[in-house]
Amino acid sequence: MTTASLLAADLVLTVLAAAGWLGGGAAAAARRRPLALALAAVALLATLARASTVVALARAGWWFAAEKVVVAAPLSLAAVAVAGPRLLRAADDIRSVAVPLLFAGYAVSAALLVTVLHGYPVSASVGLLAVAGVVAATAVSWRLLDARPSRTVSRVAVAVAVAALLAGTGLAVTPGTAPAAPHEHGYPQARISDQPTRRFTLTAGTATVRVGGHDVAAWAFDAQVPGPELTATVGDVVEVTLRNRDIGRGVTLHWHGYDVPNGQDGVPGVTQAAVLPGQEFVYRFRADQAGTYWYHTHSVSDVGVRMGLYGVLVVRPGPATGLDVVVPVHTLADRPLPDARVESVEAGVPVRLRLINTDSTTHRYALAGTDFRVAAIDGHELSGPTPVRDTAVLIPAGGRYDLVFDAPATPVALHVDGRRVYSTGAGSTATDGWPVLDPLSYGRPAPAPWSRFDRDFTLVLDRGLDLRGLLPRYAHTVNGAADPDIPPQVVRRDDVVRFTIVNRSQVVHPWHLHGHHVLVLARDRRPATGSPLWLDSFDVRPGEVWEVAFRADNPGVWANHCHNLGHADAGMMLHLVYS
Ligand SMILES: [Cu+2]
């Protein structure tokens, strides 16, 4: 069983247990003896079954099971200890076990709320609040059912509830590590250079664009989606003037995957102020690294990128040889981009397909009709890529794959999620059943550049209740907190930093650290065995644990976030800060 299915199974069992106890309690109160006994039996079985899911999750990693072991297990044991013996003794008066059954239901429900609303890391305050809730709910039920508990029992219940509530709340409001405010430093300036300069101007504005034969309202650079393709040769200085015509919420340019100096990174409130209508900002950086990249606004990025504020950045090592095709995939107003394109190519011509996923979710790419090699991922050339055939690749949100092949005499066709987007002739191939390439075992390995790590950070991705704003929200969280309350990761220059990224949630989180490429060390404790894999965007699927590392060689304050931009907007964003 995968960790993701264990998490799901455990959730289902918990709901069953809670429903069984609560339903049993209600049935007992209504003197429905057979029903009460049946529901209590379901609850008991589900509770017993949970013992195995919780143990299995703990073996997969403490992050997956912490609150289940620390909060849910004791509450479940208390539930069984209180309700079980009374059930056995309730031969005549089933109503007398109503309160113990309800207590068991509240206990399991409270633990369920801890998992669903808080998750990891577990804290004493959360445990105490759960206990307070259970005792208070039980006391109320007791009164309502008029079961007349003794005075002592009532007083003890009230005292326990109040004490747990006070202690839990007190612990919860105790200030923890306050995050440093990355928003108040001076924005660094670009260095001026006298090298060959590629100058571009991009004007952001609302526009109507044509997608698949339909007019669609968009936000666009130079009135086109995607924006103009920016190209440079290694060693060029790239200078881009960004103007905002009428995007009221502001725009910036973030060079996705390009490890530019911090001041050029385009994150509003961190490296610059958003460019408002009528304003402009000039970006300048040297193109040191060849490869396939893209640019997009980072101001209200969830909306801005979805509406069309993105484009391609390709840096070539020298003059292009053969055929170089860029395929930036996007979904604009529920319609897929780009439109299908057909071009004839002479046999033997070397072809490089630069695949870019500019959406917030994973896409599946399948190249039919030829052997190909994956030459590069996220702009970094792979070592020793071997030819593959009839194999699909999954590209995470923000990620890029460069596929290379020599054009065969027969047509080739590239499919994205089953839709043909590029081909060199007619024909059709079913690509649905193809296996998927695992980049962690593709290509020739090389020794790891580091044997020790100066800093270790763990990011546990989950969902949770965020109460710090004006309105509570069900946030996407990192280590139990949501932006802007996630403590930053502080490093010193030249530290070798290791991240362990754990996905406890039920959805994919494409992780994206700005300003650095990370080397993949392991996934689910299995070391990467293929070519060194330097990524800037990688899918951490439900239940997965990724270990990645990098050298802190680009000082500044860097966004570190989920590139499902809706998730980032809903809290899943923190910062890497150089001390
Ligand atoms: Cu996410």
pLDDT digits (tens, 9 = 90+) for 430-447: 899 999 999 999 999 999
**pTM of the full structure:** 0.91
pLDDT at residue 82, as a whole number = 86
pLDDT of 455: 97
Provide the pLDDT for residue 176.
Answer: 44
φ/ψ (deg, to 5) at 573: -150, 130
Query: Please, are residues 100 and 83 in contact by the beta-carbon 8 Å criterion?
Result: yes
pLDDT, residue 133, reads: 92
CA of 450 to the centre of ligand 1 (A): 29
Å from CA of 460 to ligand 1 middle: 11
What pLDDT does residue 86 have?
A: 84
Query: How far is C-alpha 320 from the geometric centre of its chain's CA atoms?
Result: 35
7 — pLDDT class (breaks 50, 70, 90):
very high
Report whether 471 contacts 533 (CB < 8 A).
no
CA atoms of 398 and 362, how far apart (whole Å) = 9
If you measure from the C-alpha of residue 209 to the centroid of ligand 1, how many angstroms do you get, rounded to a whole number?
A: 29
What pLDDT, on a 0 to 100 scale, did the predictor assign at position 356?
A: 98
CA of 506 relative to ligand 1 center, distance in Å: 10
Residue in 180, 242, 259 with CA at minimum distance from that of residue 517: 259
What are the residues whose beta carbons fall under 8 Å from the beta carbon of 428, sequence distance 6 or more?
413
**pLDDT bucket at 149, cuts 50 / 70 / 90:** low
CA of residue 294 to ligand 1 center, whole Å: 20
Looking at residue 181, what is its pLDDT? 45
Per-residue model confidence (pLDDT) at position 421: 95
CA of 397 to the centre of ligand 1 (A): 10
CB within 8 Å of 447: residues ≥ 6 apart: none
Summarised one tens digit per residue, pLDDT across range 546-562 is 999 999 999 999 999 99
pLDDT at residue 345, rounded to an integer? 94
Cα-to-centroid distance, 558 and ligand 1 (Å): 18
- In the numeric block, which tokens belong to residue 345? 């190519």
Q: Mean pLDDT of all residues in the chain?
A: 92
pLDDT of residue 170: 67
Distance 176 CA to ligand 1 centre (A): 25
- Transcribe 301-347 into DSSP letters: HHHHHHHT-EEEEEEESSS--SEEEEEEEEEETTEEESPPEE----T
| Gap from CA of 303 to ligand 1 centroid (Å) | 15
Q: What is the pLDDT of residue 309?
A: 98
pLDDT above 80 (res 185): no
Least confident of 136-140, 248-252, 372-376, 435-439: 136-140
Å from CA of 61 to ligand 1 middle: 20
| Ligand 1 geometric centre to CA of 515 (Å) | 19
What is the band of 350 on the pLDDT scale with cuts at 50, 70, 90? Answer: very high
Would the pLDDT of 192 be above 60? no
Q: What pLDDT, on a 0 to 100 scale, did the predictor assign at position 467?
A: 84
Query: Which tokens sit at 215?
Result: 């007019």
543 CA to middle of ligand 1, Å? 13
CA of 499 to the centre of ligand 1 (A): 16
Ligand 1 centroid distance, CA of 541 (Å): 9
Band of pLDDT at residue 187, cut at 50, 70 and 90: low
For 206-251, give the DSSP string.
Answer: EEEEEETTEEEEEEEETTBSS-PPEEEETTPEEEEEEEESS-TT-B
Residue 374 CA to ligand 1 centre (angstroms) = 26
For the beta carbon of residue 507, count every other beta carbon within 10 angstroms: 14
- Tell me how far apart the alpha carbons of residues 78 and 168 are, in angstroms, rounded to a whole number: 19
Q: Which amino acid is at 212?
A: G
Tell me the C-alpha distance between 451 and 439, whole Å: 22
CA 367 / ligand 1 centre spacing (Å): 27
For residue 537, the CA-to-ligand 1 centroid distance in Å is 12
Q: pLDDT tens, 491-516?
A: 999 999 999 999 999 999 999 999 99
Nearest to 223 by CA among 209, 210, 235: 209
Ligand 1 centre distance from Cα of residue 117 (Å): 17
Distance in Å, CA 509 to ligand 1 centroid: 3
Taking the centre of ligand 1 as the mean of its atom positions, its distance from the CA of residue 459, in whole angstroms, is: 12
For the chain, give the percent of residues with pLDDT over 70.
Answer: 94
With tokens 């049935």, the residue in question is: 27
105 CA distance to ligand 1 centroid (A)? Answer: 32
CB-based burial, 413-452: b 16+ in 10 Å, e otherwise? bbbbeeebbbbbeeeebebeebeebebbebbeeeeeeeee
Q: Which of 575, 574, 572 is nearest to 302 (CA)?
A: 572
Ligand 1 centre to CA of 569 (Å) is 10
- 123-152 b/e with 16+ CB inside 10 Å = b? bebbbbbbbbbbbbbbbebbeebeeebeee
Task: Quote the ligand 1 centre to 85 CA distance (angstroms).
Answer: 45
CA–centroid distance, 256 to ligand 1, in Å, is 17
pLDDT, residue 119, reads 87
pLDDT at 177: 46
Ligand 1 centroid distance, CA of 576 (Å): 18
What is the average per-residue pLDDT within 392-401? 98
Q: Give the per-residue pLDDT at 175.
A: 45
pLDDT band, residue 178 (cuts 50/70/90): very low
Residue 206 pLDDT > 80: yes
* Distance, CA of 190 to CA of 241 (rounded, Å): 13
What pLDDT was estimated at residue 179? 46
First to last CA, the chain: 42
For residue 354, the CA-to-ligand 1 centroid distance in Å is 24
Q: What DSSP line would sit under 128-152, residue for residue?
A: HHHHHHHHHHHHHHHHHTT----HH
